[in-house]
Amino acid sequence: MSHLRWSTAGESHGPSLLALLDGVPAGLALLADHIDRDLARRQRGYGRGGRMKIERDAVAIDGGVRGGETLGSPIALRIVNRDFANWQGRMGAEPFAATPEPVSTPRPGHADLPGALKYDRADLRDVLERASARETAARVAAGAVARRVLEECGVAVRSRVLSIGPVRDGAEADPRAWVPDGALAHRVEGSSLRVLGEAAEEAMRAEILAAAHAGDTLGGVIEVVAVGVVPGLGTYAQWDRRLDGRLAQAAMSVQAIKAFEIGEGWSAAAARGSAVHDAIAYVDGAYARASNRAGGLEGGVTNGEPLVLRAAMKPISTLRRALASVDVRTHEAAPANTERSDVCAVPAAGVVLEAMVCLTLADALLEKLGGDSMRELLRNLDGYRGQLAGR
């Protein structure tokens, strides 16, 4: 059972997006600014579409916080969709005065067709409005609250883009150098594509521009790292409580994510064990590793090294140069539906993946340490760290 439970609601062009979190300890300092900061990061990035020129995502905290501190009760978050004003008569809960023109040609790679078959919907808009990646704004809001819990516990989470299309960023850096605040962190946050290498960024921008001119889209690979995670989160005792499995589910639930690895996942499959596993040492009263190919997880449990996760995002399904499809009303061949969309949203997906990692790690932390208040949680954390240090 999750200790930090959360859910989202709302449609892409509906009145608002909603998130509800239950299990956040009382006494956590939480302001709308903490959440708006991550909402703004999600909206940035070269290759984003026209929707980002309309929306200025900002959260309203409608419950669970009083005077800038959480109460221990469910936290309710709301993000208004400014674009809803342009969809009057086509979206909303009230019956329509006139039936809107239905969307009837599904996009390959999207939830349009399987969703319509599952829920028996003749208008594909009933599917695409919820399946849209616009929903991730609510996830980012929820994740920002979880991030605040982690920050108080000394954990920092950040993402960077490793590749877009065929262009890779060859810049290497120890996660401890670019995840906490510092010069490299500022480089990532100041980059239009969340990359470390300046030359790679220029090449990626050129690739995105070429795809835009061709009416096409691009995906890429994202790395998410958490630094400061204590050993012992997760468990090997039951399959569904292993932290690697929980993180994989969290990452793969993000729209357009099609592959996931922890540490040197794919490359480890082609190497011998002697070149894969991280030798253990004991230095200055603590266990240490000379390498971190395991990505901070062994047997479903954190080992104290930085948590290193990578996810592959496919190109966005909505193309201006529409692919072949079929009209679900007539079953005749027709070009796929075209919605306003991004050319590339890989940097934004990195922020969404951060949110999912924050929510999953905060849940695992509360599972391990408990605590109805932040004071209790931090006291438990201090005691656990003392136990690890042999105090």
Instruction: Give pLDDT, residue 390.
Output: 82
Place of tokens 């960023």: 169
Question: What is the rounded distance in angstroms from the CA atom of residue 126 to the CA atom of residue 106?
Answer: 12
Question: What is the rounded distance in angstroms from the CA atom of residue 247 to the CA atom of residue 266?
Answer: 17
Strands 286-289 and 280-283, how do they pair? antiparallel
Residue in 92, 133, 38 with CA at minimum distance from that of residue 344: 133
Whole-model pTM over 0.85 = yes
DSSP helix/strand/coil, 382: helix
For residue 149, the surrounding DSSP H or E stretch is helix 136-152
Listed as ranges, residues in the chain with pLDDT below 50 are none
Question: What is the rounded distance in angstroms from the CA atom of residue 108 to the CA atom of residue 245?
Answer: 28
Instruction: Give pLDDT, residue 239.
Output: 96
Instruction: Give pLDDT, residue 266.
Output: 94
Asked whether 207 and 177 are in contact (CB, 8 A), the reply is: no
For residue 163, give every residue at least 6 positions away whose Cβ sits within 8 Å of its Cβ, in sequence order, or none: 169, 220, 221
3-state secondary structure 59-120: EEEEECEECCEECCCCEEEEEECHHHHHHECCECCCCCCCCCCCCCCCCCCCCHHHHHHHHC
* 3.60.150.10, 3.40.640.10, 3.40.50.150, 1.20.1530.20: CATH of 5-388: 3.60.150.10
Residue 177 token pair: 């150098």
